[in-house]
Amino acid sequence: RRLCDTWKRMREEDPAVDWLKMDSTKELEEMLTKTQLDFVSQMELGEGIALNEALRENLFMLLVSIMNQIPILLIGKPGCSKSLAMGVLQNNLNGDVSNKEFFKSMPAVDVVAYQC
């Protein structure tokens, strides 16, 4: 809700951002979900892996963080797709030798896991 209020103030100050409609919490959630699905649909999840909400959100946040070189701590209860998300990203982000054209322009990642 606070994000939507901030967005409304930004639109009043700068009409150039008017194209992105985020007037309500529902619109913001729909836009985020659609964007997440657009990115994740390019990934090969692997056989037997279901794309649930937790995995979708983890994949998106990790990908955004990696591409922008922003450190991220992925914290959650056991079984909420943290390690799975890292494995899926590692399998998809292989630089020039990636299976999907979408990922060929992105750098290859080397995962160094630290669990405690």
Instruction: State the pLDDT confidence band at 8, using cuts at 50, 70 and 90.
Output: confident
What is the pTM (predicted TM-score) of this model? Answer: 0.77
Average pLDDT over residues 6-12: 73
Phi-psi category of residue 110: left, alpha or beta, with phi > 0 → left and psi -120 to 50 → alpha: beta
Which runs of E-coded beta strand occur in the chain? none
Instruction: State the pLDDT confidence band at 112, using cuts at 50, 70 and 90.
Output: confident
Q: What angle do CA 87, 91, 93 make, to 5 degrees?
A: 110
For the chain, percent of residues with pLDDT exceeding 70: 87
Average pLDDT over residues 2-28: 72
What is the rounded CA–CA span in Å between residue 62 and residue 77?
Answer: 17
**Tokens 């079984």 label which residue?**
79
Average pLDDT over residues 73-90: 90
